[in-house]
Amino acid sequence: MSAQPLNAALRIMRQPDHWVFLLNRPAKRNALSADLVEALLQGVMSALQEDVPLLVFQGEGRNFSAGFDFTDYEEQSEGDLLLRFVRIEMLLETLATAPCMTLALAQGRNYGAGADLFAACRRRICTSDASFRMPGLNFGLVLGSRRLRAIVGEAEALRILGESLSFDAGQARASGFVHDLADEASWGGIIEQAREAAAALDSDTRHRLYAALDGPGASVQRQHDMAALVRSAARPGLKARIGQYLETQKPALAGRTSLATGASDRT
């Protein structure tokens, strides 16, 4: 088994029949910095090239991921921010249509693109204290909307996205966003079960299975998702909209984190 250095933003534990991707920015609640997004995308592409049967995604520390990292966003151009959103969508598309089993294990509070990363996986498990929120529409971003609708249905997706609802583990399981609840102590067994199930299929069968499940319109759906994201993020004033959104989050963050630190549990 091989892995990245202990201080890497993303650690990948590679075994012949499964790779574990560990988001490793606990001080930032595993928020998706540009470097982390690139590491995830390149790591997933490498795993697919090697035809790994199972990809597992976890977050180090108190949560899975707090979403887009807005640290120092004022110093970045709108083009830089747009590029990161596009790369995130590319990551989500790649995961959602990967010809392998993808397993996400989440704990704690998870937001925005972090919740989208969780949702893009085929099998989704969380702890009983986990929660999720997707506030992207509050700064004009359309990301992961169709995928969420496919999971929970149109009416529930409209509620979650349109009202920026925070929903807990029980609600997530009831809606189908989460398949099962399990404490972290049991995750090793869950990974082992998923590994055995994925390894039971030969490569050709596995590819045919997921192609059939995704359906003939998968490529068109990917194009639609990317176009929706780009149109929303490319609209002039992205930085101003982000700034206005972050201002509305200050009361909720009082006593927990400082905006000056680029705190990521608001994303």
- pLDDT tens string 103-122: 999 999 999 999 999 999 99
Q: What's the mean pLDDT in 150-157?
A: 97
Residue 254's pLDDT is: 53
Domains assigned to the chain: 10-261 (3.90.226.10)
What percent of the chain lies above the pLDDT cut of 70? Answer: 91
166-168 sheet: strands from edge to edge: 109-111, 131-133, 166-168
Residue 6's pLDDT is: 65
* Torsion angle of the four alpha carbons 196, 175, 133, 194, in this order, in degrees rounded to the nearest 10: 0
Task: Kindly tell me if the per-residue pLDDT of 261 is higher than 90.
Answer: no
Q: What rounded mean pLDDT belongs to the chain?
A: 92
Of 12-21, 203-212, 251-260, the least confident:
251-260
Q: Cα 230 vs. chain centroid, distance in angstroms?
A: 18
Q: What's the mean pLDDT in 65-94?
A: 97
Task: Kindly tell me if the per-residue pLDDT of 234 is higher than 80.
Answer: yes
Task: Kindly tell me if the per-residue pLDDT of 252 is higher than 70.
Answer: no
Q: What's the mean pLDDT in 191-218?
A: 93
Structure tokens at 190: 């869950």
Residue 260's pLDDT is: 29
Residue 216's pLDDT is: 84
Task: Kindly tell me if the per-residue pLDDT of 152 is higher than 80.
Answer: yes
| Cβ atoms of residues 129 and 75 within 8 Å | no
d(CA 47, CA 52): 6
Residue 2's pLDDT band, with cuts at 50, 70 and 90, is low
Residue type, 256: R
Taking only the tens place, the pLDDT of each residue in 53-67 is 999 999 999 999 999
